[in-house]
A and B are shown apart, each in its own frame.
Chain A
């Protein structure tokens, strides 16, 4: 398995990733569990948020980076919590200063209840950040036209949602995910909505190049076990996609020969 997967790395903007599972660090009850989940997931790229020093009730603020560096993962800062292109651009610039990476998972949301992306602000922010030299991975709705627009302004990958962030509702519109895969040439990373391993496998079977998972792992009853399950699901889905599934049929197709059947 490892050989097959290693021979099939994911490439985004010149970076090669051997794991097609991106991990969000939000929601883990402890940094110890986060570190164990990173190991179980074998993820190489993990997201972090940018927040004020000394708030948020996280006494481990300084050691989060130490843990992530210790696990040997690359950081993908997000702009979570931003509602305007202006705030998202400033947050991305600050993340570049803090973490010395020009990669950004661009989130510009338009609604507090659903945390759904605000398409016009997202597109505006993406364009500004690409112009500033960022490698932009936008969190977007499952809209193939918007995906194409984001690629047109220079985004390095597209991160469409399967369902709202943290909802665990899986992929609500698999047809749109397929359309997005067909609409753009850059990697498609399913982001948000994954609830359990089968959702991640489905994303890969639909043709996604990678899956990003946060809450489904961090808020699982056993986050480390779920991290392992997600790793296998992403690999299984990728292999199944390559293997080519059989077409769906209404009626049965016998898998045993009808010729030579005994006549009792």
Chain B
């Protein structure tokens, strides 16, 4: 179980940031995206390797009109 953008999500495998992006229909190298896990930024270079711990809060963010 992880919390992906605030919603609980069952996961049977060990997720990485890259596989989680796939859950959101995003390419593993999607442009204009940033990811935080448990309140820490995961740099793009680490997306393929970064293993997401059980119960983690994963935030996947992108540009939206504002300001």
Contacts and interface: CB of A to CB of B under 8 A. Distances in A.
A50 interface: yes
B49 interface: no
Given A49-B63, A64-B63, A90 B5 contact: no
9 contacts: A49-B64, A49-B65, A54-B24, A61-B63, A65-B62, A75-B63, A78-B67, A94-B34, A98-B62
Contact of B67 (A26, A64, A93, A98): A26
A99 B41 contact: no
Contacts of B33: 53, 98
B20 to A, nearest CB: 11
Output the residue of B35, B39, B61, B63 with the most chain A CB within 10 A: B63
A49 B6 CA distance: 18
Interface residues of A, number: 38
A90 B62 contact: no
Contacts of A68: 63
B26 interface: yes
Contact of A105 (B32, B61, B63, B67): B67
B23 to A, nearest CB: 10
Interface in A35-58: 47-56, 58
A97 B65 contact: no
B66 A52 contact: no
Interface in B24-41: 24, 26, 30-36, 39, 41
B35 to A, nearest CB: 8
Contact of A98 (B24, B26, B63, B65): B63
